[in-house]
Amino acid sequence: MALSGQPQSKGARRRKNINSGDVCYRIVLISSLMTQFSPDEYSAKTTILLNLDQALDKFGLDPVAELHKLGFKPADFNDIQLRMPVSRAAEVLLHCIQITHCEHFVLELVQLQTAAIDGYFGMLLRTAPTLRDAIRIAARELYLHQKGVAWSFRQEQRHAHFSLSWDAKLLAPNHRFVLAELGIAQGWLVMRNQCQRPIEVQSVQFVRNAPADKRPYRRFFNGSVQFNCDVDQLNFSASQLDTPMSHADPHLHEAVRELIRLSKTDAPRPTLVGEVQSVIRMLLPQGDCSIERVCRYLMRDKRTLQRQLRDGFGLTFQDLLQEERLKLVQVYLVESAQSITQIAYATGYREPGNMARAFRRHFGCTPSQWRERHPLQSEAPGNVQDPCSE
């Protein structure tokens, strides 16, 4: 048996015949809170806890049974439109800490969230010019759209600080502590994984009391971690603020902004079609938008989904995927200086020629001709003619 508070080995889990993989509910992380908000006060998407099932499974627990005790169905955590009170999210995390006997369970969860940020908002951050720009975007979006929580950024000479605070009237102290730990850990994961060069933290501060074992926190942040502080905050050298983001590109950055705007103004579609389209939009920028992965997010059987789309709407999954891809291609062509080949790969086409043929069938012209008819306001270097577009 594994020691208390430590993940069990795969062999131990097999001996206990736990098969949580049969029920897979994906929970998307903090960046999911930044788009498609409802007017509900102090709520967050249920997708705030990406890979919670995998984290519980590491400790040899059945995530379906444990979440059922809290009144949730697995499907609740796959609905990208569903929201929950932030206090309930805190209760879920505290329950997991209790049943795993692991004070640093939140860090175990965040370590599984390697994608850090998903969908078009993730692309908006990754294509920002520098870390400074990305932090300001994240802080502004949370300030505008997420009630009860505020990310703030400030620079003091050679030091930069990225802090998180919750409305003290909103949550009990233990709820604030666990959500702050989640947010700070996820914020650090984004900074660490989405920059062109490694980012080093000088220190991390938490309001919460010090845990019995501080070593997991030091390992996770690879730096000094302080507790019983006045603020929940990441501290790092201001010189790192000019670090380019992983896909820094001003034209592509503006293209993603336009795509986000368009996604908010689309006319409503039938429920099932809308669900599939929402997941496709989230997965396309990640480069893996197979029907198997979409079904995994929607908790649907592949054959059942195909039958429901065909019989109910006269559509196939490929129809919806192609539609969303071509929408993205259009925006990139008009707003980005990327070549046709780069756009093809960015939108999930294995061969640029396949994209060109699909584009011609749908719009009656080649991608290059479309770009010529919708020129950039100012031509940028690198906007080269691509022979495969003809």
Grade residue 1 by pLDDT with cuts at 50, 70 and 90.
Answer: very low
Q: State whether 49 and 130 are in the same domain.
A: no
Owner of token pair 């003290």:
168
What is the rounded CA–CA span in Å between residue 54 and residue 35?
25
| Mean pLDDT (whole number) for 278-305 | 78
pLDDT, tens digit (0-9, with 9 covering 90-100), for 77-125? 666 567 788 888 899 999 999 999 999 999 999 888 754 455 567 778 8
pLDDT of residue 24: 27
Q: State whether 299 and 354 are in the same domain.
A: yes
- pTM, 2 dp: 0.62
Q: Where are the beta strands (DSSP E) in the chain?
A: 43-45, 83-85, 149-156, 159-166, 203-205, 224-226, 232-237
Q: State whether 268 and 234 are in the same domain.
A: no
Whole-Å CA distances, 34 to 147, 316, 319: 11, 30, 28
Which of 45-49, 62-66, 384-388 shows the lowest per-residue confidence on average (mean pLDDT)? 384-388
Chosen domain end from 242, 271, 287: 242
Chosen domain end from 49, 81, 111: 111
Residues 6+ apart with CB under 8 A from 243: 130, 131, 195, 196, 197, 199
Chosen domain end from 95, 111, 127: 111
Domain count across the chain: 3
Q: State whether 292 and 327 are in the same domain.
A: yes
Q: State whether 163 and 238 are in the same domain.
A: yes
User: What is the domain range of residue 154?
Assistant: 119-242
Average per-residue pLDDT for the chain: 77
